[in-house]
Amino acid sequence: MGLQLRTVFIFFILITLMFGVIQAQDGNVIDCEGMIVYNYNVSPDNPIAPIAREFRNDVIENLNCNIIDHTMDATLIALLEELTPRNQSEIDSLFRTKYSSYQKTMFLVYQKFTRKNWEGKDEEAIRVRVQIRSKSGLTINDKHRDFDLKNISLNAPDKKKQALIQAFVNDAMNRKSSELSSFESPNRTHVLVANFRDLKNCPNSIRKPEQSIKNFLERSEYGDYIEVVIDNDENDVMNSADAILRGAKKGADIVVWSREYNDYCDKIDKAYMDFELLGNDKQDFLDSRMSERMISADELSNFTMELGRIVYWLKGRYAMQKKDWKNAQYFLKRLPDSILTNKEKVEKYFLLGSMRISPRMTQSEFITCKRYFNICIDVERDNFFRMEWLQILKSILAVDEMRPSLRKMIDDEYSKQAIKLLKSLNPASSFPSNRDEFLFCLSLAKDKRLKEILDQPLDFLIDNENFNSPGVLKEKIKYLDVYKNIRLAKGQAEVMCRDYPQNPFGYQYLSEQFEKDSKIEEALSYALKAKKFGSNNAELNIRLAKLYLKKNSADSCRYYYLMGIYLDPSLKEEALEKKLGLFNHLESGNPSPKKLLTYTVKNPNQSFKQILDWIGEKFGEDMKQKVKKLNFQYDDDDIIKKNEKMILYDGSSELTYTVKLKDNVNNIKDFLNKKIRNLDVSSEDIISLNGLPGGANNPMICPNQILIIKKGMNSENRLVTFNQFLSVDEIVTRLNQTETKLKHLNGESECKKKCWIIAR
């Protein structure tokens, strides 16, 4: 069994790796045309292989559409048995070429196990999991169902087996039963009484247990709300699965059946009767299966009381769904507390309390709701429902339009319940029982209205480490900060840095505190650590810029500021830009700064030096040196993560490109726009900016020529434009420039052009 479990687990891990998170099904009927059906984890020597093979064949028959049966294909079997992300493309290719009408795949996965039956005895069972995936790899459906091995074995009764498999197929394909309901009124709760065991030993007995039950139910106090049908199918209902199938076919809400019935021919009948509740959603508090032992078919008072409980519950919930509040309250109130468990009683009053609550209720309606919710809290003596009540109150208080008198009542109740919850917290309490509940307590304790009452942080919330996670530690730090207990807050921040070193929040908080203490070096150290694990956080970049400004490091300040406003332009600060000289100076004729331009690293685990070498190869040696200077925070041996951004242009010096052999203006333009985010340069821009001869139709460029792509605002060089096309020699003659320097800035090329980069 352990090996089988591991096989199933590995299979679905691989599926997740290949296709991502499973998509939620929408309940629509799934088309099975062009489907491949495959038994995934059953090798020929597996003992359940014959059963699985027949089960698969029965599934195909019940699907009733054009199935592609490929499982005898030895090549494909070998590939699927070693299913890995690496060979998935090979499988996909085979599907597409060999099975042209292939649209989706159904995987059937089998797991044999042992479970207890109703008598407490061990019985063998099989869990069949079905996953349907589209041609593109999207998971369309993912479900499972358990079967008694004897019900689907090779010698199992054919009718029962086919009914079970048909129900399995309907569920897998989101189909509904096509059989018409035997019930007439859609407004009543439908009760199906399955035929009891044949009374062969008492041929003279006139007792009919099914009819007795039907008569008794129809004469009960809730007889007006139910419709009872006796099922006279020739096959006995032997277990819960049989009962569910029978009820589903007939469209019943409740199925009554007997797992054991004895007529002793002396007018004393004994039965163990079970209830099956069909179609109930997960919010129903009622168990789907209950048992009642009866002596004599006429003594059914306990039985009808239990069944009445189900009927009133179903009717109440149905009325709530229809927003029929009057009937919903009527039926829920008909559920006497004396027959309800504590859990059921709490659920009843929770529904009654939440039924009509809204910002538009009257004060008397709120008092009634409050009374119901306080019953929930008192019955369970647990903070869970107090938390639910507080969340409802908080959502109502968030509404602006409300009568002041009602708002005050709600606010008072909120504060009262919140203080009770917070003051009850202690290590022995069962609440909070999970991380979400603990986070709720933290958020509650931060509330400004409660702070004045609490006055100081609660030790339980700080010392409790059972629920620690990055999210919880972050809230603990914020909570302590609200109460001005900075020493403890810094301690929690250090815990966060130690236990979750890749989360930037702990470093960021410590950096802020050191800055407040005027310890700029320490603040900068922690800010850089935060930046390392939050590289695309705009606020972190702006904060680093301001810290470097306090250190009088203008270059570093300028770098991080430009990176910050590149990630979020709304963070621009005019005062900071003036200090950094980033404003447009009209008298200089220089262009105003453009948006920061970056290159996104595509390959993982490259060193900074490798990236610089690539930039030198693609853009030219001059750009390589500029990029190294712009990204000064990296050393040559630093490993750069995939999707990290390298600054290519910050608005100061030029963005340039060195022409390669076989380059032309159009392919240069395409390459640059693909590699540099937000560049959006056109061929006309390159021709105009460089003053290239040949015009738009046939611009002339030469290998090794350096082209200007973007002007620089505060460049060490200047751009000079002539009214004619000139060569390097002609520029040397006209201006006081050395040939070496001119060729370094413009490239080793004999091509003529109008615009030249000149050293100042």
Q: Are residues 471 and 348 in the same domain?
A: yes
Q: Are residues 205 and 293 in the same domain?
A: yes
CATH number where 489 lies: 1.25.40.10
In a domain, 262, yes or no: yes
In a domain, 590, yes or no: no
Alpha-carbon gap, residue 245 to 161, rounded angstroms: 11
In a domain, 622, yes or no: yes
> How much is the pLDDT for 7?
43
Are 274 and 294 contacting, i.e. CB atoms less than 8 angstroms apart? no
Alpha-carbon gap, residue 491 to 302, rounded angstroms: 61
Q: What are phi and psi of 251, to 5 degrees?
A: 75, 30
In a domain, 695, yes or no: yes
Alpha-carbon gap, residue 508 to 531, rounded angstroms: 9
In 161-307, which ranges are E strands?
A: 189-194, 226-231, 254-263, 269-277, 289-295
- Between 18 and 55, name the one with better pLDDT: 55
| Long-range Cβ contacts of 505-508 (<8 Å, 24+ apart) | 505/470, 505/473, 505/474, 505/477, 505/530, 506/473, 506/477, 507/533, 508/534, 508/540, 508/543
- Rg over alpha carbons for the chain, rounded to the nearest Å, is 38
Q: How far apart are the first and last CA of the chain?
A: 80
Q: Are residues 263 and 354 in the same domain?
A: no
Domain boundary among 325, 350, 369: 325
Residues paired with residue 572 on neighbouring β-strands, in sequence order: none
In a domain, 381, yes or no: yes
Q: Are residues 249 and 317 in the same domain?
A: yes
- Between 293 and 687, name the one with better pLDDT: 687
Q: Are residues 292 and 418 in the same domain?
A: no
For the chain, percent helix, then strand, then coil, each to nearest 5? 50, 15, 35
> How much is the pLDDT for 510?
92
CA distances from 705 to 226, 616, 658 (A): 90, 14, 6
Alpha-carbon gap, residue 594 to 191, rounded angstroms: 74
**Residue 62's pLDDT band (cuts 50, 70, 90):** confident
Are 88 and 18 contacting, i.e. CB atoms less than 8 angstroms apart? yes
Which residues, at least 6 apart from 700, have a Cβ–Cβ distance to it below 8 Å? 692, 693, 694, 751, 752
Q: Are residues 535 and 427 in the same domain?
A: yes
> How much is the pLDDT for 10?
39
Kindly provide the b/e burial profile for residues 163-191, where b requires at least 16 CB atoms within 10 angstroms of the residue's own CB: bbbbbbbbebbbbeeeeeeebeeeebbbb
> How much is the pLDDT for 588?
38
Q: What are phi and psi of 43, to 5 degrees?
A: -80, 160
Q: Are residues 314 and 428 in the same domain?
A: no
In a domain, 184, yes or no: no
Provide the CA 165 distance to its chain's centre, in angstroms.
32
Which residues, at least 6 apart from 62, have a Cβ–Cβ distance to it below 8 Å? 162, 165, 166, 169
- The secondary element (H helix, E strand) that includes residue 106 is strand 104-116
Q: How many helices (H) and strands (E) does the chain have?
A: 30, 19
Q: For 157-173, how does the pLDDT look when each residue is reduced to its tens digit (9 = 90+)?
A: 665 677 778 888 888 88
CA distances from 468 to 49, 411, 464, 475, 500 (A): 47, 31, 8, 10, 10
In a domain, 586, yes or no: no
Q: Are residues 409 and 542 in the same domain?
A: yes
Q: Are residues 139 and 282 in the same domain?
A: no
Q: Are residues 286 and 356 in the same domain?
A: no
Q: For 673-728, how does the pLDDT look when each residue is reduced to its tens digit (9 = 90+)?
A: 888 877 888 888 898 889 888 888 888 999 889 899 888 776 778 888 888 888 88
Alpha-carbon gap, residue 276 to 290, rounded angstroms: 7
In a domain, 703, yes or no: yes
Number of C-beta neighbours around residue 746 at 10 A: 25
For residue 427, say if its preceding peptide bond is cis, omega within 30 degrees of 0.
Answer: no
Domain boundary among 262, 295, 325: 325
Q: Per mean pLDDT, which of 466-470, 657-661, 747-751 is the most reliable?
A: 657-661
**3-class DSSP state of 465:** coil
Query: Average of pLDDT values for 546-560?
Result: 83
Domain count, the chain: 4
Are 561 and 608 contacting, i.e. CB atoms less than 8 angstroms apart? no
Q: For 560-604, how does the pLDDT look when each residue is reduced to its tens digit (9 = 90+)?
A: 888 788 777 788 888 888 777 765 433 333 334 446 788 888 877
The CA-CA-CA angle for residues 753, 757, 760, to 5°, reads: 145
Q: Are residues 120 and 247 in the same domain?
A: no
- Between 289 and 471, name the one with better pLDDT: 471
| Long-range Cβ contacts of 269-277 (<8 Å, 24+ apart) | 269/207, 269/209, 269/294, 269/295, 269/296, 269/297, 270/294, 270/295, 271/196, 271/209, 271/297, 273/303, 274/240, 274/243, 275/306, 275/307, 275/310, 276/240, 276/243, 276/244, 276/247, 277/253, 277/310
- The secondary element (H helix, E strand) that includes residue 91 is helix 85-98
**Residue 88 domain boundaries:** 2-172
CATH number where 277 lies: 3.40.50
Q: Are residues 251 and 399 in the same domain?
A: no
Query: Average of pLDDT values for 39-61?
Result: 81
> How much is the pLDDT for 409?
92
Tokens of 480: 């302590």
Domain boundary among 142, 172, 202: 172
